[in-house]
Chain A
Amino acid sequence: MRIMSASPSIARKKKKSGSKIGFLYLLPALIAYGYVVIVPTFQSLWFSFFKWNGITEAQWVGLNNYIGFLSNPLIKQAFSHTLVLILFYSVLPISLGLLSAALISKTQIRFSGFFRSVIFLPQILTSVVIAVIWRQIFSTDGILNDALRAVGLESLTQPWLGSFTFTLPVLGLAGSWTTMGLCMLLFISGTANISTELYDAAKLDGAGAIREFFSVTLPGLRPQLAVAMTLTLIAALRVFDLVWLTTRGGPGTSSITPSVLLYSKAFTQSDVGAGAAIGVLLAILALVVALVIVRVMDDKD
Protein backbone atom coordinates (compact mmCIF):
# COMPACT_ATOMS: atom_id res chain seq x y z
CA MET A 1 0.00 0.00 0.00
CA ARG A 2 2.68 2.41 0.94
CA ILE A 3 4.54 1.66 -2.22
CA MET A 4 1.53 2.36 -4.32
CA SER A 5 0.90 5.68 -2.76
CA ALA A 6 4.53 6.61 -3.07
CA SER A 7 4.91 6.00 -6.77
CA PRO A 8 2.24 8.44 -8.02
CA SER A 9 3.91 11.25 -6.15
CA ILE A 10 7.29 10.23 -7.46
CA ALA A 11 5.81 9.97 -10.90
CA ARG A 12 4.32 13.42 -10.56
CA LYS A 13 7.62 14.86 -9.41
CA LYS A 14 9.37 13.26 -12.34
CA LYS A 15 6.79 14.71 -14.69
CA LYS A 16 7.25 18.21 -13.31
CA SER A 17 11.00 18.26 -13.69
CA GLY A 18 10.54 16.43 -16.98
CA SER A 19 8.50 19.27 -18.28
CA LYS A 20 11.15 21.81 -17.38
CA ILE A 21 13.76 19.90 -19.31
CA GLY A 22 11.14 19.29 -21.93
CA PHE A 23 10.90 22.97 -22.51
CA LEU A 24 14.62 23.12 -23.03
CA TYR A 25 14.33 20.32 -25.55
CA LEU A 26 11.68 22.28 -27.35
CA LEU A 27 13.56 25.52 -27.38
CA PRO A 28 16.14 25.14 -30.16
CA ALA A 29 13.54 23.98 -32.64
CA LEU A 30 11.17 26.74 -31.61
CA ILE A 31 13.83 29.38 -31.95
CA ALA A 32 14.89 28.21 -35.39
CA TYR A 33 11.30 27.88 -36.50
CA GLY A 34 10.27 31.19 -35.06
CA TYR A 35 13.15 33.03 -36.62
CA VAL A 36 12.89 31.47 -40.05
CA VAL A 37 9.17 30.96 -40.47
CA ILE A 38 6.95 32.72 -37.96
CA VAL A 39 8.65 36.07 -37.79
CA PRO A 40 9.08 36.43 -41.57
CA THR A 41 5.44 35.50 -42.10
CA PHE A 42 4.34 38.45 -40.01
CA GLN A 43 7.03 40.60 -41.53
CA SER A 44 5.75 39.79 -45.00
CA LEU A 45 2.38 41.04 -43.95
CA TRP A 46 3.97 44.14 -42.49
CA PHE A 47 6.16 44.83 -45.53
CA SER A 48 3.17 44.54 -47.81
CA PHE A 49 1.76 47.72 -46.33
CA PHE A 50 4.73 49.76 -47.45
CA LYS A 51 6.34 50.96 -50.61
CA TRP A 52 9.99 50.14 -50.19
CA ASN A 53 12.97 49.78 -52.48
CA GLY A 54 14.98 47.70 -50.08
CA ILE A 55 17.44 50.41 -49.14
CA THR A 56 16.11 53.80 -48.26
CA GLU A 57 13.22 54.55 -45.98
CA ALA A 58 9.91 52.89 -46.62
CA GLN A 59 6.65 54.68 -47.21
CA TRP A 60 3.44 53.61 -45.60
CA VAL A 61 0.80 52.93 -48.23
CA GLY A 62 -1.66 50.80 -46.32
CA LEU A 63 -3.61 48.52 -48.62
CA ASN A 64 -2.42 50.24 -51.78
CA ASN A 65 -0.28 47.34 -52.93
CA TYR A 66 -3.28 45.04 -52.81
CA ILE A 67 -5.63 47.51 -54.41
CA GLY A 68 -3.03 48.08 -57.10
CA PHE A 69 -3.17 44.37 -57.84
CA LEU A 70 -6.82 44.58 -58.76
CA SER A 71 -5.98 46.80 -61.71
CA ASN A 72 -2.58 45.34 -62.53
CA PRO A 73 -2.79 43.25 -65.70
CA LEU A 74 0.41 41.38 -64.84
CA ILE A 75 -0.99 39.98 -61.61
CA LYS A 76 -4.12 38.85 -63.36
CA GLN A 77 -2.04 37.26 -66.07
CA ALA A 78 0.19 35.50 -63.57
CA PHE A 79 -2.71 33.98 -61.69
CA SER A 80 -4.51 33.01 -64.87
CA HIS A 81 -1.35 31.16 -65.82
CA THR A 82 -1.56 29.37 -62.49
CA LEU A 83 -4.99 28.11 -63.49
CA VAL A 84 -3.49 26.65 -66.66
CA LEU A 85 -0.68 25.12 -64.65
CA ILE A 86 -3.19 23.56 -62.28
CA LEU A 87 -4.53 21.67 -65.27
CA PHE A 88 -1.12 20.21 -65.92
CA TYR A 89 0.22 19.79 -62.40
CA SER A 90 -3.01 18.57 -60.84
CA VAL A 91 -5.84 17.53 -63.08
CA LEU A 92 -3.85 15.59 -65.63
CA PRO A 93 -1.61 13.62 -63.26
CA ILE A 94 -4.44 12.86 -60.86
CA SER A 95 -6.63 11.59 -63.67
CA LEU A 96 -3.81 9.45 -64.97
CA GLY A 97 -3.14 8.23 -61.46
CA LEU A 98 -6.76 7.29 -60.92
CA LEU A 99 -6.88 5.60 -64.26
CA SER A 100 -3.84 3.50 -63.50
CA ALA A 101 -5.26 2.68 -60.08
CA ALA A 102 -8.51 1.53 -61.67
CA LEU A 103 -6.63 -0.60 -64.16
CA ILE A 104 -4.54 -2.11 -61.42
CA SER A 105 -7.48 -3.02 -59.28
CA LYS A 106 -9.09 -4.65 -62.25
CA THR A 107 -6.26 -6.55 -63.71
CA GLN A 108 -4.28 -7.07 -60.53
CA ILE A 109 -0.92 -6.58 -62.11
CA ARG A 110 1.80 -6.61 -59.52
CA PHE A 111 4.07 -3.68 -59.82
CA SER A 112 7.69 -4.38 -59.53
CA GLY A 113 9.82 -2.30 -57.27
CA PHE A 114 11.69 -1.16 -60.34
CA PHE A 115 8.60 0.37 -61.85
CA ARG A 116 7.81 2.16 -58.63
CA SER A 117 11.29 3.55 -58.35
CA VAL A 118 11.33 4.83 -61.86
CA ILE A 119 8.02 6.63 -61.89
CA PHE A 120 8.87 8.28 -58.62
CA LEU A 121 12.25 9.46 -59.86
CA PRO A 122 11.16 12.88 -61.11
CA GLN A 123 10.29 13.84 -57.56
CA ILE A 124 13.87 13.20 -56.57
CA LEU A 125 15.44 15.40 -59.18
CA THR A 126 16.24 19.00 -58.56
CA SER A 127 14.53 21.66 -60.60
CA VAL A 128 17.72 22.56 -62.42
CA VAL A 129 18.04 19.06 -63.80
CA ILE A 130 14.38 19.01 -64.80
CA ALA A 131 14.81 22.33 -66.56
CA VAL A 132 17.83 21.06 -68.48
CA ILE A 133 15.98 17.93 -69.58
CA TRP A 134 12.91 19.71 -70.85
CA ARG A 135 14.74 22.65 -72.35
CA GLN A 136 16.53 20.17 -74.51
CA ILE A 137 13.42 18.32 -75.50
CA PHE A 138 11.57 21.46 -76.47
CA SER A 139 14.39 23.39 -78.09
CA THR A 140 14.11 24.27 -81.73
CA ASP A 141 16.46 21.48 -82.71
CA GLY A 142 15.50 19.25 -79.85
CA ILE A 143 13.98 15.83 -79.70
CA LEU A 144 10.36 16.85 -80.11
CA ASN A 145 10.92 18.78 -83.29
CA ASP A 146 13.25 16.12 -84.57
CA ALA A 147 10.62 13.46 -83.97
CA LEU A 148 8.00 15.54 -85.78
CA ARG A 149 10.31 15.96 -88.72
CA ALA A 150 11.08 12.28 -88.77
CA VAL A 151 7.43 11.37 -89.22
CA GLY A 152 6.93 13.99 -91.88
CA LEU A 153 5.11 16.50 -89.68
CA GLU A 154 7.65 19.25 -90.24
CA SER A 155 4.93 21.84 -90.46
CA LEU A 156 4.04 21.19 -86.87
CA THR A 157 7.47 22.03 -85.54
CA GLN A 158 7.52 25.10 -83.34
CA PRO A 159 9.87 27.24 -81.35
CA TRP A 160 8.17 25.74 -78.33
CA LEU A 161 9.83 27.79 -75.65
CA GLY A 162 9.73 31.00 -77.61
CA SER A 163 6.16 30.95 -78.73
CA PHE A 164 3.46 32.97 -77.05
CA THR A 165 0.94 30.19 -77.45
CA PHE A 166 2.96 27.18 -76.53
CA THR A 167 5.41 28.17 -73.84
CA LEU A 168 3.04 27.85 -70.91
CA PRO A 169 1.41 24.53 -71.92
CA VAL A 170 4.80 23.10 -72.71
CA LEU A 171 6.13 24.04 -69.29
CA GLY A 172 2.94 22.60 -67.88
CA LEU A 173 3.72 19.28 -69.53
CA ALA A 174 7.11 19.27 -67.88
CA GLY A 175 5.28 19.86 -64.63
CA SER A 176 2.95 16.94 -65.28
CA TRP A 177 5.98 14.76 -65.73
CA THR A 178 7.16 15.63 -62.26
CA THR A 179 3.92 15.06 -60.38
CA MET A 180 2.61 12.17 -62.43
CA GLY A 181 4.69 9.54 -60.70
CA LEU A 182 3.72 10.73 -57.26
CA CYS A 183 0.02 10.57 -58.05
CA MET A 184 0.23 7.16 -59.64
CA LEU A 185 2.12 5.77 -56.67
CA LEU A 186 -0.26 7.31 -54.19
CA PHE A 187 -3.30 5.82 -55.81
CA ILE A 188 -1.81 2.46 -56.64
CA SER A 189 -0.63 1.90 -53.10
CA GLY A 190 -3.96 3.23 -51.93
CA THR A 191 -5.94 0.65 -53.85
CA ALA A 192 -4.00 -2.04 -52.10
CA ASN A 193 -5.78 -0.96 -48.94
CA ILE A 194 -9.27 -1.20 -50.32
CA SER A 195 -10.67 -4.42 -49.07
CA THR A 196 -11.54 -6.94 -51.73
CA GLU A 197 -14.85 -7.57 -50.04
CA LEU A 198 -16.10 -4.29 -51.32
CA TYR A 199 -15.21 -5.27 -54.84
CA ASP A 200 -16.85 -8.63 -54.44
CA ALA A 201 -19.98 -6.95 -53.16
CA ALA A 202 -20.02 -4.66 -56.14
CA LYS A 203 -19.61 -7.57 -58.51
CA LEU A 204 -22.49 -9.35 -56.87
CA ASP A 205 -24.57 -6.26 -57.40
CA GLY A 206 -23.79 -6.63 -61.07
CA ALA A 207 -21.72 -3.48 -61.31
CA GLY A 208 -19.70 -2.98 -64.47
CA ALA A 209 -16.16 -1.69 -64.46
CA ILE A 210 -17.16 1.95 -64.49
CA ARG A 211 -19.71 1.66 -61.70
CA GLU A 212 -17.17 -0.25 -59.72
CA PHE A 213 -14.69 2.53 -60.12
CA PHE A 214 -17.03 5.23 -58.93
CA SER A 215 -18.61 3.35 -56.09
CA VAL A 216 -15.67 1.44 -54.68
CA THR A 217 -12.31 2.62 -55.94
CA LEU A 218 -12.85 6.32 -55.85
CA PRO A 219 -14.34 6.57 -52.36
CA GLY A 220 -11.70 4.19 -51.09
CA LEU A 221 -9.03 6.49 -52.38
CA ARG A 222 -10.45 9.54 -50.73
CA PRO A 223 -7.56 10.21 -48.36
CA GLN A 224 -5.06 9.74 -51.16
CA LEU A 225 -7.10 12.00 -53.38
CA ALA A 226 -7.05 14.70 -50.73
CA VAL A 227 -3.31 14.45 -50.42
CA ALA A 228 -2.71 14.40 -54.15
CA MET A 229 -4.93 17.40 -54.66
CA THR A 230 -3.29 19.38 -51.90
CA LEU A 231 0.25 18.60 -52.99
CA THR A 232 -0.28 19.20 -56.68
CA LEU A 233 -2.43 22.31 -56.31
CA ILE A 234 0.10 23.92 -54.05
CA ALA A 235 2.90 22.86 -56.38
CA ALA A 236 1.11 24.57 -59.26
CA LEU A 237 0.67 27.68 -57.14
CA ARG A 238 4.34 27.86 -56.31
CA VAL A 239 5.96 27.25 -59.71
CA PHE A 240 9.15 29.26 -59.95
CA ASP A 241 12.25 27.21 -60.64
CA LEU A 242 11.04 25.62 -63.85
CA VAL A 243 9.92 28.88 -65.41
CA TRP A 244 12.90 30.86 -64.18
CA LEU A 245 15.42 28.39 -65.55
CA THR A 246 13.84 28.09 -68.97
CA THR A 247 12.11 31.26 -70.04
CA ARG A 248 12.30 33.69 -67.12
CA GLY A 249 8.64 34.34 -67.76
CA GLY A 250 8.94 35.00 -71.44
CA PRO A 251 8.41 35.43 -74.24
CA GLY A 252 6.92 38.74 -73.27
CA THR A 253 5.03 37.80 -70.16
CA SER A 254 3.42 34.68 -71.49
CA SER A 255 4.81 32.34 -68.89
CA ILE A 256 4.99 34.42 -65.74
CA THR A 257 3.71 32.94 -62.51
CA PRO A 258 2.99 34.66 -59.22
CA SER A 259 6.32 33.51 -57.81
CA VAL A 260 8.23 34.82 -60.81
CA LEU A 261 6.44 38.12 -60.38
CA LEU A 262 7.28 38.11 -56.69
CA TYR A 263 10.95 37.65 -57.38
CA SER A 264 11.09 40.28 -60.08
CA LYS A 265 9.15 42.82 -58.05
CA ALA A 266 11.06 42.37 -54.83
CA PHE A 267 14.57 41.89 -56.12
CA THR A 268 14.93 43.30 -59.61
CA GLN A 269 12.42 46.11 -59.62
CA SER A 270 13.06 47.06 -56.01
CA ASP A 271 9.37 47.08 -55.14
CA VAL A 272 9.67 45.04 -51.98
CA GLY A 273 6.21 45.91 -50.69
CA ALA A 274 4.52 44.57 -53.80
CA GLY A 275 6.64 41.43 -53.70
CA ALA A 276 5.73 40.83 -50.07
CA ALA A 277 2.07 41.37 -50.91
CA ILE A 278 2.21 38.66 -53.55
CA GLY A 279 3.80 36.42 -50.95
CA VAL A 280 0.94 37.07 -48.56
CA LEU A 281 -1.58 36.31 -51.29
CA LEU A 282 0.14 33.02 -52.04
CA ALA A 283 0.08 32.06 -48.36
CA ILE A 284 -3.61 32.83 -48.09
CA LEU A 285 -4.38 30.87 -51.24
CA ALA A 286 -2.38 27.88 -50.03
CA LEU A 287 -4.25 27.92 -46.74
CA VAL A 288 -7.60 28.20 -48.48
CA VAL A 289 -6.77 25.30 -50.78
CA ALA A 290 -5.82 23.09 -47.85
CA LEU A 291 -8.87 24.04 -45.80
CA VAL A 292 -11.29 23.59 -48.68
CA ILE A 293 -9.93 20.17 -49.53
CA VAL A 294 -10.12 19.04 -45.92
CA ARG A 295 -13.64 20.37 -45.60
CA VAL A 296 -14.85 18.77 -48.82
CA MET A 297 -13.26 15.46 -48.04
CA ASP A 298 -14.68 15.38 -44.55
CA ASP A 299 -18.11 16.33 -45.79
CA LYS A 300 -18.34 13.35 -48.05
CA ASP A 301 -18.21 11.22 -44.96
Chain B
Amino acid sequence: MPVSIANSRLIYDALKACDVKIISALPETWLVHLIRMAEEDPDMTLVRLAKEEEGIGISAGAHLAGVNSALLMQNHGFFAAINPIVSLALLYKIPLLMLISYRGHMGEKDPWQTQGGLLTEPLLRALNIPLWHLTNPADVQRRIKDAQTLALASLHPVAVLLSRELMWED
Protein backbone atom coordinates (compact mmCIF):
# COMPACT_ATOMS: atom_id res chain seq x y z
CA MET B 1 0.00 0.00 0.00
CA PRO B 2 1.79 3.14 -1.19
CA VAL B 3 0.87 5.35 1.75
CA SER B 4 3.96 7.34 2.68
CA ILE B 5 5.46 6.07 5.92
CA ALA B 6 8.05 8.86 5.97
CA ASN B 7 5.47 11.64 5.66
CA SER B 8 3.12 9.91 8.12
CA ARG B 9 6.06 9.96 10.56
CA LEU B 10 6.59 13.68 9.94
CA ILE B 11 2.93 14.36 10.71
CA TYR B 12 3.01 12.16 13.80
CA ASP B 13 6.17 13.87 15.09
CA ALA B 14 4.53 17.25 14.50
CA LEU B 15 1.55 16.18 16.65
CA LYS B 16 3.96 15.04 19.36
CA ALA B 17 5.73 18.41 19.18
CA CYS B 18 2.31 19.99 19.82
CA ASP B 19 2.00 17.97 23.03
CA VAL B 20 -1.01 16.08 21.69
CA LYS B 21 -1.93 13.36 24.20
CA ILE B 22 -5.20 12.02 22.79
CA ILE B 23 -5.87 11.13 19.16
CA SER B 24 -9.28 9.98 18.04
CA ALA B 25 -9.48 8.24 14.71
CA LEU B 26 -11.50 6.24 12.29
CA PRO B 27 -9.31 4.21 9.95
CA GLU B 28 -9.02 5.08 6.31
CA THR B 29 -6.33 4.09 3.84
CA TRP B 30 -4.22 7.25 4.04
CA LEU B 31 -4.30 7.25 7.84
CA VAL B 32 -3.17 3.68 8.53
CA HIS B 33 0.45 4.49 9.43
CA LEU B 34 -0.54 7.46 11.58
CA ILE B 35 -3.01 5.31 13.51
CA ARG B 36 -0.41 2.55 13.94
CA MET B 37 2.12 5.10 15.23
CA ALA B 38 -0.41 6.35 17.78
CA GLU B 39 -1.19 2.80 18.83
CA GLU B 40 2.48 1.91 19.32
CA ASP B 41 3.22 5.06 21.33
CA PRO B 42 2.86 4.35 25.07
CA ASP B 43 2.45 8.07 25.78
CA MET B 44 -0.47 8.49 23.38
CA THR B 45 -4.10 7.63 24.06
CA LEU B 46 -5.62 6.45 20.79
CA VAL B 47 -9.42 6.31 20.73
CA ARG B 48 -10.76 4.27 17.85
CA LEU B 49 -14.23 5.58 17.12
CA ALA B 50 -17.38 4.01 15.76
CA LYS B 51 -18.23 7.35 14.07
CA GLU B 52 -16.43 10.67 13.77
CA GLU B 53 -19.12 12.56 15.69
CA GLU B 54 -17.85 10.94 18.87
CA GLY B 55 -14.42 12.44 18.27
CA ILE B 56 -15.80 15.96 18.61
CA GLY B 57 -17.15 15.04 22.06
CA ILE B 58 -13.90 13.38 23.09
CA SER B 59 -11.81 16.38 22.01
CA ALA B 60 -14.22 18.74 23.77
CA GLY B 61 -13.90 16.70 26.95
CA ALA B 62 -10.12 16.58 26.64
CA HIS B 63 -9.89 20.35 26.12
CA LEU B 64 -12.07 21.13 29.14
CA ALA B 65 -9.89 18.72 31.12
CA GLY B 66 -6.74 20.56 30.00
CA VAL B 67 -5.37 18.00 27.53
CA ASN B 68 -4.40 18.63 23.90
CA SER B 69 -5.99 16.33 21.37
CA ALA B 70 -6.20 15.84 17.62
CA LEU B 71 -8.71 14.16 15.31
CA LEU B 72 -7.78 11.97 12.35
CA MET B 73 -10.56 11.61 9.86
CA GLN B 74 -11.35 11.29 6.20
CA ASN B 75 -13.17 14.22 4.62
CA HIS B 76 -16.33 12.08 4.64
CA GLY B 77 -15.81 11.70 8.38
CA PHE B 78 -15.69 15.47 8.67
CA PHE B 79 -19.06 15.55 6.90
CA ALA B 80 -20.40 13.02 9.42
CA ALA B 81 -19.23 15.27 12.26
CA ILE B 82 -20.72 18.56 11.06
CA ASN B 83 -23.61 18.67 13.54
CA PRO B 84 -21.40 18.36 16.64
CA ILE B 85 -18.83 20.72 15.10
CA VAL B 86 -21.65 23.29 14.98
CA SER B 87 -23.63 22.38 18.09
CA LEU B 88 -20.71 21.59 20.37
CA ALA B 89 -17.40 22.98 19.10
CA LEU B 90 -18.65 26.26 17.61
CA LEU B 91 -21.42 26.75 20.17
CA TYR B 92 -19.14 26.23 23.16
CA LYS B 93 -15.94 27.68 21.65
CA ILE B 94 -13.99 24.43 21.66
CA PRO B 95 -10.67 24.32 19.78
CA LEU B 96 -10.32 21.31 17.47
CA LEU B 97 -7.23 20.23 15.55
CA MET B 98 -8.71 18.20 12.70
CA LEU B 99 -6.38 16.37 10.34
CA ILE B 100 -8.52 15.48 7.36
CA SER B 101 -7.44 13.23 4.52
CA TYR B 102 -8.47 15.07 1.40
CA ARG B 103 -9.92 12.29 -0.73
CA GLY B 104 -11.58 12.98 -4.06
CA HIS B 105 -9.28 15.85 -4.99
CA MET B 106 -6.79 16.00 -7.88
CA GLY B 107 -5.45 12.57 -8.80
CA GLU B 108 -8.32 10.62 -7.23
CA LYS B 109 -9.02 7.36 -9.05
CA ASP B 110 -11.90 6.13 -6.88
CA PRO B 111 -15.14 7.50 -8.35
CA TRP B 112 -16.93 7.15 -4.99
CA GLN B 113 -14.62 9.69 -3.37
CA THR B 114 -15.14 12.44 -5.90
CA GLN B 115 -18.30 14.12 -4.59
CA GLY B 116 -16.70 14.46 -1.19
CA GLY B 117 -13.64 15.99 -2.77
CA LEU B 118 -15.73 18.66 -4.42
CA LEU B 119 -17.48 19.65 -1.19
CA THR B 120 -14.69 19.56 1.39
CA GLU B 121 -13.37 23.10 1.05
CA PRO B 122 -16.79 24.73 0.43
CA LEU B 123 -18.14 23.13 3.63
CA LEU B 124 -15.10 24.13 5.69
CA ARG B 125 -15.46 27.68 4.39
CA ALA B 126 -19.21 27.70 5.06
CA LEU B 127 -18.43 26.77 8.67
CA ASN B 128 -15.77 29.49 8.84
CA ILE B 129 -13.12 26.91 9.72
CA PRO B 130 -9.59 28.04 8.80
CA LEU B 131 -7.73 25.48 6.71
CA TRP B 132 -4.18 24.63 5.78
CA HIS B 133 -3.22 22.42 2.87
CA LEU B 134 -0.37 20.05 3.62
CA THR B 135 1.38 19.16 0.39
CA ASN B 136 5.06 19.70 1.11
CA PRO B 137 6.94 17.66 3.73
CA ALA B 138 8.97 20.76 4.63
CA ASP B 139 5.76 22.53 5.76
CA VAL B 140 4.40 19.77 7.96
CA GLN B 141 5.81 20.66 11.36
CA ARG B 142 5.28 24.41 11.04
CA ARG B 143 1.75 24.22 9.64
CA ILE B 144 0.48 21.70 12.19
CA LYS B 145 1.95 23.75 15.04
CA ASP B 146 0.51 26.98 13.61
CA ALA B 147 -2.90 25.32 13.17
CA GLN B 148 -2.92 24.22 16.80
CA THR B 149 -1.77 27.67 17.95
CA LEU B 150 -4.65 29.33 16.11
CA ALA B 151 -7.18 26.78 17.39
CA LEU B 152 -6.13 27.38 21.00
CA ALA B 153 -5.96 31.17 20.63
CA SER B 154 -9.32 31.47 18.86
CA LEU B 155 -11.06 28.60 20.71
CA HIS B 156 -12.26 27.47 17.30
CA PRO B 157 -11.84 24.40 15.10
CA VAL B 158 -9.10 24.38 12.46
CA ALA B 159 -8.57 21.93 9.61
CA VAL B 160 -5.35 20.59 8.14
CA LEU B 161 -6.02 18.93 4.79
CA LEU B 162 -3.70 16.00 4.12
CA SER B 163 -3.13 15.92 0.38
CA ARG B 164 -2.46 13.06 -2.02
CA GLU B 165 0.95 14.55 -2.82
CA LEU B 166 1.96 14.17 0.81
CA MET B 167 0.24 10.90 1.72
CA TRP B 168 0.38 8.74 -1.40
CA GLU B 169 3.44 7.47 -3.24
CA ASP B 170 2.50 6.30 -6.74
* Chain B associates with chain A: no
**Chain A positions near chain B (C-beta within 8 angstroms):** none
**Chain B positions near chain A (C-beta within 8 angstroms):** none
